[in-house]
Structure 1
């Protein structure tokens, strides 16, 4: 595989996992979260015209900016995207006189992009003078494209403004694309007209601490330190700095600077993801559940796994590291040390790339967006950097380091088995969203069982890989990890059965759901519960049974959906409540099966753009966005058959007691208690 493709695939795998968890891990603890109006619009534009003469006008665009957010200037050369204002049909019906003015502000240092830029807070006004060439012109159209950021995320937006030039102008709707009558009718049918929002106001949610992501990244960095690509570099690099400098203090300063640059490089690698936070509400889900991409990522992780096993090396071009090393020697000073740190990042790629791709994807959560990715990368970089600084400060500690040897290759091979297990998750995602029925729960767990057995046999010296030397005796650490692996394999065995023990609650979210099984199931719904996959069918059943409805927005590839079903829904009290008191409507927003041709239609979005509704998932994802202004899963709504809200909506709620109380309050509201 070409080195460039390895880099690209690693970035894609991180982003895919990031997107999936961005969708999945809407973390909530001990309280409910009605996620209504969860689509951000921090900047709003209004336009007006001031008449100067019969043919000359000032067009004024006023931007209102939410607290903590800022809007960027039109004149930016690097960093964020500049505000772009387009006067449609200028040069035909009117001419622009001069440039579009904006507030005169001093440049600020932007923490996100690490550059000096001009931006506006709270409000901004843009003014353009125009000269009419068509005296009968009643209005002009202005298009605005902009980026806005706060301390955690960046969002791009666009707006189309109609500016009246005369008092007799009648405001018309923005020009939008046309859809046929069938599409109009089917689009209207997606609006459930949920009532009761005035009674159940959104509450604040308790988010997972972003610093936990930093901790996970730090742990990943510590693991990377124990690989053959990094560990041997520690004493060599520390010795270089402490012995090459004429002044011991200078050597210490250089080693600290070296560690700082390692940390900085990994932080900088996360910055492009801040631009990815500007996507529309459903694109992250579409990427993470795309079957083709998941299959590609499955193959990538297989490639990484067999590289860890030692069958080949995935390295970046030697010319890159040689060129950087040469540059470091020629330049010297702080810049030279930076190039040395960059050389380490490139040389160690074959060990750090797969760890970053796996670790960050499994730890990122929803609302922090790219900021959480930056924190994870920061933790990873800090863990890699610390040894080089600490051992330079305390050189005697080097004597306590274990010597490089075969144990480093053992760590690498163990990581290869972990990569192999993670690869199956991508293949499972593709199988689930396409409903192929190939990698069902028992086969998935069986493959994990074989991987666990293979790892145990390796740790006990029964199998070897290309770079393993002769094993004289088993170390205590190797025996301990081997016994833990055997215990894990034993834990997996009940997952192959058709019994209550097959739940494997500690692994909820990783294997396919319990009902996606080779065994005959009571239904194709979670835990054998009765559920409906269509809103119309579910509402009809609720009216017939005179029961309240729980709308379950879920996904085949949704990790937290599986955790809710297998850890919360499975508790006896919750299970009984769902089974006996509610009609469940489960809507899979990542179901990639095509709708029948007669059910496919075009949905006209509020911004005038058209979205083609071709799959079952397209339909339910759009229904969720229209009715709840929310696009995360799991997401639960309790309504009566008349679509009246019974209580606040909630998202991921891992506390079974809290979830049960929520169900009880909805039932009491339905019964009028």
Structure 2
């Protein structure tokens, strides 16, 4: 009882004390536990159980987004007695949604998730390795954490006894925590035929031993694979786009010409108008059933994690790129995609109006005959919806087929409007060609996804925009009649015998040309916020107007010298891709190394603003766009300060071996540039969240008692800068 009261008092004192700190270490909101689960004589599952505090999340292996998000990794040390079977698998409720400040759909886990590695053990052994992960909330991401893990196999030989040993679950798996941090299992012993597991647990403050009873424990619910979740608004938007795609398919040559023929056939073959309307409705329902079945088949073929795989895997995106190019070329008239003619013959032989099955085969015949027009649209929608969720393709095909079938039912119910239906002609081919241009533009998005994932730098932002400019400019010229394909009809002629544009065609040409003009500023660094989910991130832009070459307010770049001739050198080439738009736009000179910034401060006589930031830090980007970009702020940053942007999640650059060390504060090894920046922030300033700004002199001494956390109040930030500058001048007369 005394120890308990003592602990409560210490906790209360610590809590009161922490309220007085402006910058403080945010504890890791994760709890890890580890389990060895025996399947057969030599087959085991190594399970990493992760529980995450409310409000935090961890990214999936395929995180999606714009390519900057960090998924967890598990690296196993070499062990002659162990054979890894495949890769680590993740099991939990996968959440796919959009996050403010990140392009594209982000895939993540909240609350809990299991990571499972299957192995074959040849003998009793210890399995060691290192795991690395990053957790975020809606406002910030903590720097990546590294932890060592150890699993011990003690019953590899006793195969017959192992089946009597119940497996521990996430709730009862061996875990211990202390005030200093979360425990790591370093030694686990599970005795065959027993219901007690004993483990030696290493915490940040020392060792502990935990005894876990496992008898009668239910299977871990967290290990059950979850399903994707989409925000209602996003799902409804997908369904709306699929419905519009179905309506668009109606005005393709293969389908449009079939409407008056099919509807007229039903009405003429029926003794009563009601029978004709009924048959037309059956026909429409058959079209919906056929395409929905296609969507269900695609959904059934997709695995649990297929949406993430499709959205982010570079090989899959390259395949989709090729398919979309083929579809686009087909619409442009390079060739025609058709299904075997025998399929049409077989379905047509069974088609009649005497039964629902006969009408169904009539609809199936339409689907096969019109494949050359609807195939590319259906394929595009299937690939796009497959990346949104496992069962979304089925819903997408339901919406698409409803849009496609709707005109057949409507004109059967209101046949008087059939005469007002536009005549078939060259305009239908123009629709196909326009679809072809759009397919090619979408193909580039898939290529861009693969490019970002692999870092090839083939489609940097301005190159991607340039390609779209070319595509939509050519589409505009085509709509205006300046470009013609071999299969195009002549434009209609007026009473004077001169070709003319219809109002509809001119309208679409104006829309296309307007889109071209909207894209143009993006070539010089305009944000193009309306296309944030399509164009590559700003960090891949090589040139932003005003950031160099004498064009604009900035007149500089990250590697350009300031007025004193001092300029950053270390990590400039590697880090420039991550520079925010405001840095490029205004030519702000930024350093990426702490020691180099101190040296620059000595030479220039300026104080330093240490910008502890992250590649995928949402609030960092908000501060830069909402605060840094203001003239009164940018003027002070450029003229009065040395800016050091220290990315705490940049782990692509390994430190030289002689510069690596172990951080006592972080209790992890410092091996990368990001590790070192994180350790500097934690060790010197007692903080580990981003964004956080600390101000120091040339010797690293603080110029303000507290740092400046995320706060988009411009005047407050300006006042803080002025106070720091005044204190620096006072200490440097």
**TM norm structure 2:** 0.50
Match status 1:388 vs 2:408:
yes
Structure 2 equivalent of residue 447 of structure 1: 467
Query: Which segments of 5 or more consecutive residues in structure 1 lack a partner in the other structure?
Result: 1-17, 43-91, 94-133, 145-161, 174-203, 532-536, 555-560, 599-615, 621-637, 648-660
Q: Is the 8 A contact 1:217 1:375 kept in 2?
A: no
Structure 2 equivalent of residue 38 of structure 1: 110
Structure 2 equivalent of residue 250 of structure 1: 275
Structure 2 equivalent of residue 212 of structure 1: 237
SS, match of residue 139 in structure 1: coil
Query: Which segments of 5 or more consecutive residues in structure 2 lack a partner in the other structure?
Result: 1-61, 70-95, 115-157, 170-188, 200-228, 493-499, 549-556, 559-575, 585-591, 599-606, 658-671, 676-681, 692-707, 721-733
Tell me the CA shift for residue 405 of structure 1: 0.8
Tell me, in whole angstroms, the C-alpha distance in 2 between the residues paired with 1:263 and 1:663: 51
Tell me, in whole angstroms, the C-alpha distance in 2 between the residues paired with 1:347 and 1:646: 58
Tell me, in whole angstroms, the C-alpha distance in 2 between the residues paired with 1:137 and 1:234: 68
Match status 1:430 vs 2:477:
no
Match status 1:525 vs 2:578:
yes
Q: Is the 8 A contact 1:21 1:365 kept in 2?
A: no
Structure 1 equivalent of residue 211 of structure 2: none
SS, match of residue 229 in structure 1: helix
Tell me, in whole angstroms, the C-alpha distance in 1 between the residues paired with 2:385 and 2:709: 28
Tell me the CA shift for residue 662 of structure 1: 10
Q: In the alignment, which of 344, 360, 369 is matched to residue 338 of structure 1?
A: 360
Tell me the CA shift for residue 265 of structure 1: 2.0
Q: Is the 8 A contact 1:217 1:360 kept in 2?
A: no
Structure 2 equivalent of residue 27 of structure 1: 98
Tell me, in whole angstroms, the C-alpha distance in 2 between the residues paired with 1:303 and 1:327: 32
Q: Deviation per CA, 1:203-222, whole angstroms, max 9, x where unpaired? A: x9975253232222111111
Q: Is the 8 A contact 1:21 1:361 kept in 2?
A: no
For the aligned residue pairs, the C-alpha RMSD in angstroms reads 5.1
Structure 1 equivalent of residue 351 of structure 2: 328
Stretch deviating more after TM superposition (403-412 or 20-29): 20-29
Structure 1 equivalent of residue 522 of structure 2: 495
Tell me, in whole angstroms, the C-alpha distance in 1 between the residues paired with 2:507 and 2:321: 30
1:546-625 equivalences in 2 (<5 Å): 550-553=613-616, 571-573=625-627, 585=647
Q: Is the 8 A contact 1:304 1:419 kept in 2?
A: yes
Tell me, in whole angstroms, the C-alpha distance in 2 between the residues paired with 1:551 and 1:19: 16
1:186-335 equivalences in 2 (<5 Å): 207-208=232-233, 210-275=235-300, 278-280=303-305, 284-329=307-352, 333-335=355-357
Q: Is the 8 A contact 1:139 1:163 kept in 2?
A: no
Tell me, in whole angstroms, the C-alpha distance in 2 between the residues paired with 1:595 and 1:646: 22
Tell me the CA shift for residue 408 of structure 1: 0.4
Stretch deviating more after TM superposition (441-450 or 226-235): 441-450
1:328-477 equivalences in 2 (<5 Å): 328-329=351-352, 333-359=355-381, 369-472=389-492, 473-477=500-504
Compared CA separation, residues 35 and 640, structure 1 to 2 (3 A):
farther
SS, match of residue 439 in structure 1: coil
Structure 2 equivalent of residue 511 of structure 1: 535
Tell me the CA shift for residue 39 of structure 1: 7.2
Tell me the CA shift for residue 343 of structure 1: 2.2
Tell me, in whole angstroms, the C-alpha distance in 2 between the residues paired with 1:364 and 1:582: 42
Compared CA separation, residues 508 and 170, structure 1 to 2 (3 A):
closer
Compared CA separation, residues 219 and 139, structure 1 to 2 (3 A):
same
Q: In the alignment, which of 711, 722, 731 is matched to residue 664 of structure 1?
A: 711
Tell me, in whole angstroms, the C-alpha distance in 1 between the residues paired with 2:428 and 2:343: 25
Tell me, in whole angstroms, the C-alpha distance in 1 between the residues paired with 2:523 and 2:443: 20
Tell me, in whole angstroms, the C-alpha distance in 2 between the residues paired with 1:261 and 1:19: 39
Compared CA separation, residues 41 and 319, structure 1 to 2 (3 A):
farther
Tell me, in whole angstroms, the C-alpha distance in 2 between the residues paired with 1:243 and 1:639: 86
Q: Deviation per CA, 1:420-466, whole angstroms, max 9, x where unpaired? A: 21122222223332222333222222222221221122111111112
Q: Is the 8 A contact 2:348 2:361 kept in 1?
A: yes
Compared CA separation, residues 142 and 28, structure 1 to 2 (3 A):
closer
Tell me, in whole angstroms, the C-alpha distance in 2 between the residues paired with 1:299 and 1:338: 33
**TM norm structure 1:** 0.54
Structure 1 equivalent of residue 552 of structure 2: none
Structure 2 equivalent of residue 486 of structure 1: 513
SS, match of residue 217 in structure 1: helix
Compared CA separation, residues 290 and 371, structure 1 to 2 (3 A):
closer
Tell me the CA shift for residue 250 of structure 1: 2.2
Tell me, in whole angstroms, the C-alpha distance in 1 between the residues paired with 2:684 and 2:382: 41
Compared CA separation, residues 358 and 19, structure 1 to 2 (3 A):
farther
SS, match of residue 26 in structure 1: strand
Q: Deviation per CA, 1:66-94, whole angstroms, max 9, x where unpaired? A: xxxxxxxxxxxxxxxxxxxxxxxxxx99x
Tell me the CA shift for residue 22 of structure 1: 12
Q: Deviation per CA, 1:540-594, whole angstroms, max 9, x where unpaired? A: 999998978554548xxxxxx9xx999x6764337679999996748599xxx99
Tell me, in whole angstroms, the C-alpha distance in 2 between the residues paired with 1:594 and 1:240: 70
Q: Is the 8 A contact 1:527 1:565 kept in 2?
A: no
Tell me the CA shift for residue 251 of structure 1: 2.1
Q: Deviation per CA, 1:104-151, whole angstroms, max 9, x where unpaired? A: xxxxxxxxxxxxxxxxxxxxxxxxxxxxxx8x787167999xxxxxxx
Compared CA separation, residues 169 and 445, structure 1 to 2 (3 A):
closer
Compared CA separation, residues 639 and 205, structure 1 to 2 (3 A):
farther
Compared CA separation, residues 446 and 172, structure 1 to 2 (3 A):
same
Compared CA separation, residues 455 and 274, structure 1 to 2 (3 A):
closer
Higher relative contact order (CA 8 A, sep 6+): 1
1:46-195 equivalences in 2 (<5 Å): 139=164, 168-171=194-197
Q: Deviation per CA, 1:27-82, whole angstroms, max 9, x where unpaired? A: 3689xx9998537779xxxxxxxxxxxxxxxxxxxxxxxxxxxxxxxxxxxxxxxx
Q: Is the 8 A contact 1:311 1:466 kept in 2?
A: no
Structure 2 equivalent of residue 628 of structure 1: none
Structure 2 equivalent of residue 121 of structure 1: none
Tell me the CA shift for residue 300 of structure 1: 1.9
Structure 1 equivalent of residue 205 of structure 2: none
Compared CA separation, residues 21 and 264, structure 1 to 2 (3 A):
farther
Stretch deviating more after TM superposition (212-221 or 538-547): 538-547
Q: Deviation per CA, 1:173-215, whole angstroms, max 9, x where unpaired? A: 9xxxxxxxxxxxxxxxxxxxxxxxxxxxxxx997525323222
Q: Is the 8 A contact 2:612 2:690 kept in 1?
A: no
Tell me, in whole angstroms, the C-alpha distance in 2 between the residues paired with 1:641 and 1:279: 43
SS, match of residue 256 in structure 2: coil
Query: Of the two, which has the highest radius of gyration?
Result: 2
Q: Is the 8 A contact 1:553 1:586 kept in 2?
A: no
Tell me the CA shift for residue 391 of structure 1: 1.0
Tell me, in whole angstroms, the C-alpha distance in 2 between the residues paired with 1:220 and 1:307: 17
